[in-house]
């Protein structure tokens, strides 16, 4: 009795993690919804087949016990009258079942391909160890937007994402929206995202890519078209100049010292291209590719010693003086 | 047996006759071509633009000889019959060993030698035997400038005007020197080496203004052309090559000949956000001037970085040619030869202003441009319309120029992509021809082009921008193109639109050309041979081995004794000669932005130098 | 004892012995407070006091033989645009780094000093742009370009088109000072 309760409790706990922001069964995107439909159909059909097979097995065992047939029995050639119709029925069931599954697969694939042929927005995601470089490519190149570790999508709009990698093989996976697609250095792959439900989701790297593969996540926000456009134009704006003396000190440090060698803040002399774009850092939900939620304490901890949070990642521990750190965080928090 | 012998003899006879006839006809054709050129009436040849090309007074006051950039000397004492006797009259050692590109200027029996870094200037008294120095000017540029000069700390020359010499100094200054005393009259700082800017080009002085441009397309520098007042050195106007129309001086007078260059604020809208600020388009090459139209013609450099994936859009106003009003700097027209440049195909090559003959006996104002992307452009210099754009070298990176839309046709397979190496791209980054200018002879009507036959493999990667460091994002390996020769000297007929003759050279040709009225053309090779060829046939008539490779402009002048002299700077370096002048290692094919692979043998063929050689006929 | 017991014991001892095979220590943080560039390490020159170059800092060995330091240095060499001037060791705007000729000294601490302080003919000063650990990593990588590092610490391939032989096959160049009249 106790063991059963324990089993149910464990199952419940496990299943509870199967909902929320990173949920394979979420079905919030067109492709994942299709996947769930197919998955459910397969599960149901295969469960029915499984139960029938188990029933037949039990029946066979039961009948054997009862009839007591032995190998020596001359009458073992005699077949039970139920076998023939049962076999015919079973074959028919299998054929029908497989046909249904094949046809369902075909239609689901076609549905996925249909959405993939008419993308409205184009994006490029370049994977690096261990962060995501996100770029929105509009036909007007002067409205290109570059950000890092987060994606905003308008709901019900097909978005085509071209995937590249700057170093090793990664994999792009937003379970709620679509399946995995590898990012391979030297090649271009792509994925089509069509979000059906607004909300906050989480994606992550799904191909082992080095020591911090586990902390390479992506914040995905699906919102209405209007909210998306508002977010986009806010992101296109260059960074506001620092206002208070502390922010100015931080700005001075950022642009003249180690930070600007790698990071870019549009509208300032800092134009490094090899690390996440920080122009609107303070508007993001998390830092360090989803490793830490965005708040003042985490910003302090991350900037002071990134190697303690994500050992082995490419941002060095600089050894900042306290005043330098205060100035930097004050400035970074203005980057909304 | 006898029959077989007879048959064999007959076949042999036929072969011999065929060979003899063939050779005869070959010879005949060349002679015919030569005769045709000589006998053609002048009305059917291009002539230099009248106002921009005054009669030769025996001096050489600007690197291009005249505003039309003909590099043609009207002196004819030295001709094909006596050039074989040419001998050294005197030499002058500058004491420097960097790439020596600047021509000596000769004004009123004084020769002015402009050396590469440290950019010293020497005045030599030609009236005394041995041409001893009269004065020496030392600008003392910052040594750190050498660290941001992409292709050697060279200098392409000074400009003489009104008793003064005007030149650029590597660390971003323009100076004016009084020729009588050798003292500096004014110095204006225009470039900032901390941002990667240097200055290497030869100024052009026109309409009381000194026109200068910056270098640094490989360093994320924003390019510009500035005009300084010749008297005081104060800035009159500055036209940027990227950014808002206000900065690029694109105003109501601007009329582009083709739709691709028409519109407002193209210097911003054809780039990703903020990219034009570090986008290149420097002006490190040649300027020409039409005194009648009062227009300056010049080209802009490549966009930065070399990795084109980082800068989507056409990237205006880079890799194209501008015509600007000399007084205000406002653009009259612009044509982008290479939109969204993928291969470092700058457009800074020389623009030769010629008047082409028309059917009704009039003259049509045109300009000739042997461009870096491999096409020979003949354009109307009033409005930029292209009359013809033919390949003058082996080109597989482009599919031609569409004369209707004016746009260069790209070839998709040759586009470099991140993480993938694209091979066999022709022409390579120095293009079909780099900065070294050609010479035009009104006698033959031909343009004499010393240029390259170089292809490359290119791999691009994400480039990081740190001011004062390179902003390139590419690994390149260059090698000889089809035929195996890395250099080629072409005589091109701009009206017939074809090569008249071609001389294959083993090493890349990095020296400019000189054409003379005596019917000769002079140029130098990278292992030091100074050559004189017949202007009609291309036949080598004389050559002399100087102490170091030649990459500098040969000139011709009339000395105080009324004799014709030919002078040439000898001192290998620049981008092509970097392996020698900077002592690079040939085991790394990507060194010097890929050129080392194409000049791996140069260290065995020549060494550093810095000497001016002056030749004359024996007395 | 039984053979099973003996075999198990032997296996256990072997595993214990192998687990002590720690190849190298990977420093991700570089001890920010104690890591400093040795003050004014001179190029090869005359030393009237001692007659020779000061001894090498003990930290140098930790970087020179460390594969992860060399790999990080290789990445930074490209990111910080060293490759833009020095190419893959052949040089260009900057001097060649693979030929064993050192104008300002080729010992690892001398290279770190050149990177940190900059040099008169155009080498930029990186002191405020890079952390000390990063400069030591780049210097360790630069040494591999002329074959100075042990072959088991270098990376066997580059991440981009280079054309030079892999570092595992680079011959060790004898270190020679370059012509000082080129200053």
- For B283, half-sphere exposure in the C-beta direction (CA atoms, 13 angstrom radius) is 30
Q: Can you tell me whether residue A261 is helix, strand or coil? A: helix
Specify the CATH architecture of the domain C58-183. Orthogonal Bundle (1.10)
Structure tokens at B377: 């452009």
Q: Residue B617: pLDDT above 60?
A: yes
Residues 6+ apart with CB under 8 A from C142: C73, C77, C82, C97, C111
> CB of B556 within 8 A of CB of B537?
no
Specify the CATH architecture of the domain A245-332. Sandwich (2.60)
> CB of B571 within 8 A of CB of B553?
no
Strand partners, B209: B206, B229
- The confidence score (pLDDT) of residue A26 equals 85
Rounded to the nearest 10 degrees, how much is the dihedral formed by the CA atoms of B538, B539, B545, B546? -30
The chains found to touch B (3+ Cβ pairs under 8 angstroms) are A, C
Min mean pLDDT across B145-154, B396-405, C33-42 is at: C33-42
The chains found to touch C (3+ Cβ pairs under 8 angstroms) are A, B
Query: b/e per residue, B183-213, with b = 16+ CB within 10 A?
Result: eebbebebbbbebbbbbbbbbbbbeebbbbb
Distance from CA of B108 to the nearest CA of A (A): 50
pLDDT digits (tens, 9 = 90+) for A33-51: 999 999 999 999 999 999 9
Cα angle C95, C100, C106 (rounded to 5 degrees) comes to 85
- Total beta-carbon pairs less than 8 A apart between chain A and chain C: 38
CA distance B466 to B196: 10
CA distance B241 to B319: 10
CA distance B575 to B97: 14
A245 CB-contact burial (10 Å; exposed 0-12 / middle 13-18 / buried 19+)? exposed
Q: Which residue has the higher pLDDT, B223 or B357?
A: B223
- The confidence score (pLDDT) of residue C180 equals 44
pTM over 0.80, yes/no = yes
A261 contact residues in B (CB cutoff 8 A): 464, 466
Which of B523-532, C28-37, C41-50 is predicted most confidently?
B523-532
pLDDT digits (tens, 9 = 90+) for B467-476: 999 999 999 9
Average pLDDT over residues B65-86: 96
Compute φ and ψ for B475, nearest 5 degrees: -115, 130
**Strands B87-93 and B611-616, sheet pairing:** antiparallel
Q: Residue A115: pLDDT above 90?
A: no
Look at residues B452, B456, B401 and name the one whose alpha carbon lies nearest to residue B426: B456
Look at residues A174, A186, A160, A152 and name the one whose alpha carbon lies nearest to residue A280: A152
Rounded to the nearest 10 degrees, how much is the dihedral formed by the CA atoms of B53, B58, B64, B66? -20
Q: What is the mean pLDDT of chain B?
A: 93
Structure tokens at B205: 């002085």
Q: Kindly identify which residue of chain B lies nearest to residue C80, measuring between CA atoms.
A: B464
pLDDT digits (tens, 9 = 90+) for A228-244: 999 999 999 999 999 99
Domain limits, chain B: 45-75+93-616
Question: Phi/psi zone of residue B207: left (φ > 0), alpha (ψ -120 to 50 degrees), beta?
Answer: left
CA distance A198 to A221: 8
B269 at C interface, C-beta within 8 A? no
What are the DSSP E strand ranges found in B402-473? 408-410, 421-425, 439-441, 446-452, 454-460
Which of A52-56, B40-44, B392-396 is predicted most confidently?
B392-396
Q: Residue C15: pLDDT above 90?
A: no
Residues of B known to be catalytic: 218, 302, 344
Q: Kindly identify which residue of chain C lies nearest to residue B466, measuring between CA atoms.
A: C80
- The confidence score (pLDDT) of residue B38 equals 36
> CB of A225 within 8 A of CB of A155?
yes
Q: Which residue has the tokens 């004004």?
A: B107
pLDDT digits (tens, 9 = 90+) for A310-319: 999 999 999 8
Kindly state the DSSP code that residue C9 receives in the 8-state scheme: H
> CB of B225 within 8 A of CB of B238?
yes
Average pLDDT over residues B22-49: 53
Same fold for the domain at A22-67+78-140+154-194+204-218 and the one at A245-332?
yes
Q: Residue A216: pLDDT above 50?
A: yes
Q: Which residue has the higher pLDDT, B107 or C152?
A: B107
Q: Residue B488: pLDDT above 80?
A: yes
Which residues 404-443 in chain B show a CB within 8 A of chain C?
421
B45-75+93-616 CATH pick, 3.10.20.30, 1.20.1050.10, 3.40.630.30, 2.140.10.10? 2.140.10.10
* Chain C residues bordering chain B (beta-carbon distance below 8 Å): 78-81, 83-85, 87-96, 98-99, 101, 120-124, 129, 160-165, 178
What percent of chain B is predicted at pLDDT more than 90? 89
| ipTM, interface predicted TM-score of the complex | 0.87
> CB of A28 within 8 A of CB of A177?
yes
Structure tokens at B589: 């094919």
What are the DSSP E strand ranges found in B72-208? 72-73, 87-93, 105-107, 110-114, 121-125, 133-137, 159-161, 164-169, 173-178, 184-189, 204-206
CA distance A163 to A144: 16
CATH 2.60.40 fits A22-67+78-140+154-194+204-218, yes or no: yes
Compute φ and ψ for C72, nearest 5 degrees: -65, -40
Average pLDDT over residues C55-73: 87
Q: Is B145–C122 a contact, with Cβ atoms under 8 angstroms apart? A: yes
* Chain B residues bordering chain A (beta-carbon distance below 8 Å): 268-274, 278, 310, 312-313, 417-420, 461-467
Q: Kindly identify which residue of chain B lies nearest to residue C166, measuring between CA atoms.
A: B588
Q: Residue B417: pLDDT above 50?
A: yes
Q: Residue C4: pLDDT above 70?
A: yes
- The confidence score (pLDDT) of residue B189 equals 97
Domain limits, chain A: 22-67+78-140+154-194+204-218, 245-332
Structure tokens at B164: 């003064």
Q: Residue B30: pLDDT above 50?
A: no
pLDDT digits (tens, 9 = 90+) for A269-321: 999 999 999 999 999 999 999 999 999 999 999 999 999 999 999 999 998 99
Q: Is B468–C129 a contact, with Cβ atoms under 8 angstroms apart? A: no
Q: Is C164–B147 a contact, with Cβ atoms under 8 angstroms apart? A: no
CA distance C86 to A311: 30
CA distance C120 to C113: 13
- The confidence score (pLDDT) of residue B455 equals 97
pLDDT digits (tens, 9 = 90+) for B543-598: 999 999 999 999 999 999 999 999 999 999 999 999 999 999 999 999 999 999 99
> CB of B373 within 8 A of CB of B345?
yes
- The confidence score (pLDDT) of residue B144 equals 95
């Amino acid at each position: 009795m106790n063991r059963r309760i324990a089993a149910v409790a464990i199952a419940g706990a496990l299943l509870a993690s199967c909902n929320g922001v990173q949920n394979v069964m979420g079905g919030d995107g067109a492709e994942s919804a299709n996947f769930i439909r197919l998955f459910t159909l397969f599960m149901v059909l295969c469960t029915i087949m499984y139960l029938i097979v188990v029933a037949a097995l039990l029946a066979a065992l039961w009948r054997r016990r009862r009839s007591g047939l032995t190998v020596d029995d001359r009458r073992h050639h005699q077949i039970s009258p139920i076998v023939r119709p049962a076999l015919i029925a079973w074959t028919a069931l299998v054929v029908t079942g497989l046909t249904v599954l094949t046809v369902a697969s075909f239609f689901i694939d076609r549905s996925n391909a249909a959405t993939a042929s008419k993308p409205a927005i184009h994006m490029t995601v370049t994977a690096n160890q261990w962060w995501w470089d996100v770029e929105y490519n509009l036909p007007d190149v002067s409205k290109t937007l570059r950000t890092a570790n987060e994606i905003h999508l308008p709901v019900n709009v097909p978005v085509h994402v071209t995937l590249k990698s700057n170093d090793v093989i990664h994999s792009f996976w937003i379970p709620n929206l679509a399946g995995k697609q590898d990012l391979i250095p030297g090649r271009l792959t792509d994925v089509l995202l069509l979000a059906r439900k607004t909300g906050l989701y989480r994606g992550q790297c799904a191909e082992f890519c080095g020591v911090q593969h586990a902390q390479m996540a992506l914040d995905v926000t699906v919102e209405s078209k209007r909210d998306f456009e508002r977010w986009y134009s806010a992101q296109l704006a260059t960074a506001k100049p620092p206002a208070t003396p502390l922010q100015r000190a931080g700005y001075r440090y950022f642009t003249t010292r180690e930070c600007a060698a790698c990071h870019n803040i549009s509208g300032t002399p800092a134009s490094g291209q090899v690390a996440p774009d920080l122009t609107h850092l303070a508007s993001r939900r998390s830092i360090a590719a989803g490793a830490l939620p965005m708040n003042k304490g985490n910003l302090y901890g991350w900037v002071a010693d990134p190697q303690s949070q994500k050992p082995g990642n490419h941002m060095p521990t600089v050894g900042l003086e306290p005043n330098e750190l205060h100035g930097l965080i004050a400035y970074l928090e203005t980057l909304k | 047996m006898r029959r077989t012998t007879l048959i064999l003899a007959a076949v042999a006879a036929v072969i011999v006759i065929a060979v003899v006839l063939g050779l005869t006809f070959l010879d005949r054709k060349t002679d015919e071509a030569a005769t045709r050129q000589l006998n053609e009436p002048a009305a059917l040849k291009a002539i230099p633009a009248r106002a921009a090309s005054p009669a030769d007074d025996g001096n050489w006051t600007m690197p291009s000889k005249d505003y039309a950039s003909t590099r043609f000397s009207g002196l004819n004492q030295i001709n094909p019959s006596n050039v074989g006797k040419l001998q050294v009259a005197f030499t002058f050692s500058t004491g420097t060993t960097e790439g020596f590109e600047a021509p000596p200027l000769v004004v009123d029996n004084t020769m002015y030698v402009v050396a590469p870094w440290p950019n010293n200037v020497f005045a030599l008294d030609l009236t005394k035997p041995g041409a001893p120095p009269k004065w020496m000017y030392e600008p003392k540029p910052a040594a750190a400038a050498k660290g941001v000069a992409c292709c050697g700390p060279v200098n392409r020359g000074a400009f003489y005007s009104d008793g003064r010499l005007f030149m650029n100094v590597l660390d971003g200054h323009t100076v004016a020197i009084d020729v009588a005393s050798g003292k500096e009259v004014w110095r204006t700082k225009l470039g900032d080496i901390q941002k990667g800017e240097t200055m290497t080009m030869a100024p052009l002085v026109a309409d009381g203004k000194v026109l200068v441009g910056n270098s640094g397309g490989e360093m994320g520098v924003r390019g510009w052309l500035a005009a300084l007042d010749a008297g005081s050195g104060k800035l009159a106007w500055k036209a940027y090559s990227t950014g808002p129309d206000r900065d690029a001086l694109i105003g109501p007078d601007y009329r582009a000949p083709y739709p691709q260059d028409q519109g407002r604020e193209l210097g911003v809208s054809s780039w990703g956000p903020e990219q034009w600020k570090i986008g290149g388009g420097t002006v490190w090459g040649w300027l020409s001037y039409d005194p009648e139209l009062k227009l300056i013609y010049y080209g802009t450099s490549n966009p930065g970085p070399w990795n084109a994936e980082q800068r989507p859009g056409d990237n205006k106003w880079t890799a194209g040619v501008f015509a600007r009003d000399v007084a205000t700097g406002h653009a009259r027209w612009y044509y982008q030869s290479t939109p969204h440049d993928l291969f470092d195909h700058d457009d800074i090559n020389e623009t030769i202003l010629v008047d082409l003959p028309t059917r009704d006996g009039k003259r049509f104002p045109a300009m000739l441009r042997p461009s870096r992307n491999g096409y020979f452009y003949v354009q109307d210099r009033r409005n930029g319309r292209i009359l013809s754009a033919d390949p003058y070298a082996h080109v597989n990176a482009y599919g031609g120029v569409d004369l209707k839309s004016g746009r260069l046709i790209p070839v998709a397979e040759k586009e470099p992509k991140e993480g993938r190496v694209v091979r066999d791209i022709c022409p390579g980054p120095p293009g079909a021809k780099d900065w070294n200018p050609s010479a035009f002879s009104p006698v033959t009507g031909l343009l004499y082009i010393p240029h390259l036959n170089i292809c490359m493999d290119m791999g691009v990667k994400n480039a990081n921008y740190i001011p004062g460091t390179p902003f390139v994002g590419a690994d390149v390996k260059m090698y000889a193109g089809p035929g195996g020769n890395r250099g080629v000297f072409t005589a091109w007929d701009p009206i017939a639109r074809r090569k008249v003759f071609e001389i294959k050279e083993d090493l890349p040709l990095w020296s400019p050309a000189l054409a003379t009225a005596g019917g000769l053309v002079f140029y130098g090779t990278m292992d030091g041979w100074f050559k004189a060829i017949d202007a009609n046939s291309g036949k080598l008539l004389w050559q002399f081995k100087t102490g170091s490779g030649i990459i500098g402009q040969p000139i011709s002048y009339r000395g105080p004794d009324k004799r014709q002299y030919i002078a040439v700077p000898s001192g290998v370096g620049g981008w092509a000669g970097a392996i020698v002048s900077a002592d690079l290692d040939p085991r790394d094919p990507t060194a010097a932005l890929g050129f080392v692979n194409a000049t791996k043998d140069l260290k065995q063929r020549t060494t550093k130098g810095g000497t001016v050689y002056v030749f004359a006929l024996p007395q | 004892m039984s053979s099973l017991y003996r075999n198990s014991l032997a296996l256990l001892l072997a595993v214990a012995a192998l687990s002590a095979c720690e190849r190298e220590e990977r420093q991700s943080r570089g001890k920010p407070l104690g890591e400093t560039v040795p003050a004014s390490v001179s190029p090869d020159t005359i030393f009237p006091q001692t007659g020779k170059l000061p001894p090498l800092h003990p930290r140098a060995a930790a970087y020179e033989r460390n594969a992860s330091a060399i790999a990080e240095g290789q990445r930074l060499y490209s990111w910080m645009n060293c490759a833009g001037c020095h190419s893959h060791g052949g040089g260009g705007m900057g001097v060649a780094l693979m030929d064993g000729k050192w104008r300002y000294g080729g010992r690892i601490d001398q290279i770190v000093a050149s990177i940190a302080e900059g040099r008169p003919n155009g080498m930029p000063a990186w002191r405020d742009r890079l952390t000390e650990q990063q400069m030591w990593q780049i210097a360790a990588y630069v040494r591999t370009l002329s074959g100075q590092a042990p072959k088991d610490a270098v990376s066997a391939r580059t991440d981009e088109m280079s054309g030079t032989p892999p570092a595992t096959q680079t011959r060790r160049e004898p270190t020679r000072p370059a012509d000082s009249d080129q200053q």
